[in-house]
Structure 1
């Protein structure tokens, strides 16, 4: 077997491991969100949590996420060095980063109140301001309670700043040692810890867990459960590092050691670039703080979209990035253009029908996933429009990520960075305009609009960079897939109405049957229409499924 085939097989194996681990983690994340919904609905405990989690969660995603700057920096440096050099280097980086982030943690604890006020100014209103805005006494008290809970949660979760850096270093260290399963599945432990905390609270309070008077206690359980999950996620990685001989919990101040400077050179700019994307999340929550329950609704709807997006993006982007990199030389650009088309068509093939079904079945999806306990039908009606707005933007969200990976493969990180800076200002502008027009769903529509502009800008810039792209030729298949998805969505909605008429809508089992039948019919219609388009990407996809099925048979 040739080395190239071995490399390809290894790449496919890695993609498979990451995809399966991501799927398992996402499933547990969904169960966690269902438990939160049943316990707190869209009440102040979870509403406050969404604000309190902004900065700790920002650091956890930014520094501790797979493919994040810490992960990328560690992998890029360790993969070029000998095994015996790894442990001292990892211990030195851990000492340096841990010290810096410990200082950040102390500042977060001290300035928790003003930072929550900065993230969610709509919670920090006086009685006079509340009266001027026409708030009732109960609404004002809810705002005060939400602010109090958010500040306490923020202080509890502040140590996640340190844990985020350590988790990111652990991700990179284990991946550099060809260990992919544990880093990819480790977010599962965070979900398990939070679910365990909610379970203990439910045993303690029983059915009273949904009562507003226990919102403060529930909020504390959310915060402590989140912190415990981050600690568990880090400890699991530490044990694996020890066993692999990749460093221990040892302070090492050898900051002049070879490799330390290389890591920091990659880590600094990458952290800044990745941070630009998270600023948009803060902007959305800034405006959401003026709309009661909007932050909670964003969290519930966002997870429903991010679950399939996360799985499909990992399956699509992990294999494509090294392919783009191998074709970065100008003499390979004709083939690179074909691969870019393939990435965009596969994105449309997966995201457009899922987006259409998300739009037309939004209420049914929210009811099946969340509607139990404190999450009542009124909460479903509030969250469903958010899910509709997310569904509109699923294709451009992933399509933009495909194009960003092309720029990275070409060694150009500046262009996506500059586009992301412009996006921050556009997102703030669109948030302001669309919230006034559409209410809470306008926050999501603003993000969708920014992603559309971003994707178009990246396509235009990429067209100039690699001497032209057949953009009009690519537009045709995307338009046809969009049309097929729209038809599938309408059919699915009609089938749902028929099922609801004859089967009803009461009971989880009935709702699940309604949703399953309508969704399956919709996907079937899309598959039939897509097959008629005779796109090579569809043929390749079907052939591979056929071969795999025959091989297993």
Structure 2
């Protein structure tokens, strides 16, 4: 546990800075564009590059590339260097071709993710922005491949710190946009082509900077890129057979995302401020604790589990997984409960500035409260998938993902049918929560069969104790929230008080109670922090 904890702490520090700067970026973005029609146009346009990347490249990185590189490092005479060079060469060429095709098809791609409720001008703005941001595909992909190679060398810091530079660049671009465009920057009918060019090209520039940081880090790690175009020895046949299931999995999840985006687009067309931007910003905030805590543990855990699985050491796989679950849950449990209480306070503090309204900021917080329910099951689900990937099994996650998506789509369509437009996006968040709760149960049962147990009793006992320890802090935060609203209402200043006093007291009380309950993961964190404090 100590090795994973140390590696996770390094990554968590980078992710923390990345998420904090990401929050600043999100705040400036909503201040500049608002969370209504202009914000929705940008949100959909900027999502397209990542949708295409995930569909064709990103879906196989965690499920195929990392385990494949680890195996080649063990089996190849050169430690897998030729394999890594071929992989980076072929991936770069494929990404450039994909980017060129996507730019040419920007109009039809935007049409897939927008609703008839959008005006012609809003669709036109989204298409123009898409042409500027679609080149991100190539740079995101190359950076992701570099990050995968770094992870197999136990170099975790750069992939977690590189997004900070992207955020800094974007903050500068958005501030410039807000100053130059002013109020018209949030008006989809009035925004100029020059302002759209600044926004789109600036967005891509941030991703270019992020990619360059990763390539420099890879060079410092001893990797020397030499283009290798020969396909012999690239292992594409083996990777293709395994990656096929990974691509199917991504396709299934993208169908779910498409349904969500279409429904949110329709809701935003009828109820201003309750569309794609509200969903996307709430989801980004929801992923803050997941990104800081769970992603760090998952990234450190997968190479270790892959090595143990390759050696047939099921006991170590079980121990690594159980340790990872407890490390993730120890902070995600209180984080999820606090999000359910303090969601609107978070979003009012971040989003009620510039061209956005207080009511729209509160609405994003209401969606965030629903997402708080999903935090623990969502994170456990991602951890469980890595068990299958460690064994090179990308087929089982496809069937689990299909079930997840079916539940999510069914409940999303139900929400769109029965809820007023103002509440549809909140219904979408409920649908995601139910889908991941169901998927976690199914994935646990199947993964347990593969590893002959997952130390379920130990994990269940730990989770129940963590929830018990988190209740006093949650109640304290709820009390601060009620008292502050009664005295001062909900304003950016009162929201800051709610977060500082309610959130701080809630988390501190949880750590005290959990430490006294002798929850070992909390004791490890407290010991690590106090140990550093004495130095």
TM, length-normalised to structure 2: 0.84
- The alignment covers a number of residue pairs equal to 522
Q: Aligned equivalents of 2:7 and 2:54: distance in 1? A: 22
Q: 1:432 aligns with which of 395, 413, 424?
A: 413
Q: Aligned equivalents of 1:333 and 1:242: distance in 2? A: 35
Q: 1:174 to 1:22 in 2, by over 3 A?
A: same
Aligned to 1:187: 163
Are 2:482 and 1:497 aligned?
yes
Are 2:212 and 1:235 aligned?
yes
Q: 1:523 aligns with which of 488, 499, 507?
A: 507
Of stretches 267-276 and 322-331 in structure 1, the one that deviates more from structure 2 is 322-331
Please list every run of 5 or more consecutive structure 2 residues that lacks an aligned counterpart in the other structure: none
Q: 1:47 aligns with which of 16, 40, 65?
A: 40
Aligned to 1:373: 354
Aligned to 1:133: none
Are 2:17 and 1:24 aligned?
yes
CA contact (8 A) 2:129 2:197 kept: yes
Q: 1:263 to 1:67 in 2, by over 3 A?
A: closer
TM, length-normalised to structure 1: 0.82
Are 2:98 and 1:151 aligned?
no
Q: 1:425 to 1:268 in 2, by over 3 A?
A: same
Are 2:438 and 1:457 aligned?
no
Q: Aligned equivalents of 1:165 and 1:331: distance in 2? A: 32
Q: Deviations over 1:227-284 (max 9, x none)?
A: 2222222333344555666455x76532225556566566554444455444432221
Q: 1:77 to 1:46 in 2, by over 3 A?
A: farther
Residues 478-493 of structure 1 mapped to structure 2, 5 A cutoff:
478-479=463-464, 481-482=466-467, 484-493=469-478
Q: 2:497 aligns with which of 505, 513, 523?
A: 513
* Aligned-pair Cα RMSD in Å: 3.6
Of stretches 360-369 and 267-276 in structure 1, the one that deviates more from structure 2 is 267-276
The alpha-carbon deviation at position 302 of structure 1 amounts to 1.2
Q: 1:35 aligns with which of 22, 28, 42?
A: 28
Please list every run of 5 or more consecutive structure 1 residues that lacks an aligned counterpart in the other structure: 1-7, 126-141
Q: Aligned equivalents of 1:196 and 1:331: distance in 2? A: 50
Q: Aligned equivalents of 1:502 and 1:106: distance in 2? A: 57
Are 2:83 and 1:107 aligned?
no
Q: Aligned equivalents of 2:343 and 2:255: distance in 1? A: 27
CA contact (8 A) 2:152 2:303 kept: no
The alpha-carbon deviation at position 118 of structure 1 amounts to 1.5
Q: 1:506 to 1:323 in 2, by over 3 A?
A: same
Q: Aligned equivalents of 1:198 and 1:307: distance in 2? A: 21
The alpha-carbon deviation at position 33 of structure 1 amounts to 0.6
The alpha-carbon deviation at position 462 of structure 1 amounts to 3.4
Of stretches 187-196 and 314-323 in structure 1, the one that deviates more from structure 2 is 314-323
Secondary structure at the counterpart of residue 266 of structure 2: coil
Q: Deviations over 1:182-220 (max 9, x none)?
A: 333222232223222222223323565445554455554
CA contact (8 A) 2:43 2:277 kept: yes
Secondary structure at the counterpart of residue 225 of structure 1: helix
Q: Aligned equivalents of 1:280 and 1:346: distance in 2? A: 29
Q: Deviations over 1:31-57 (max 9, x none)?
A: 111110111121322201222233311
Aligned to 1:117: 111
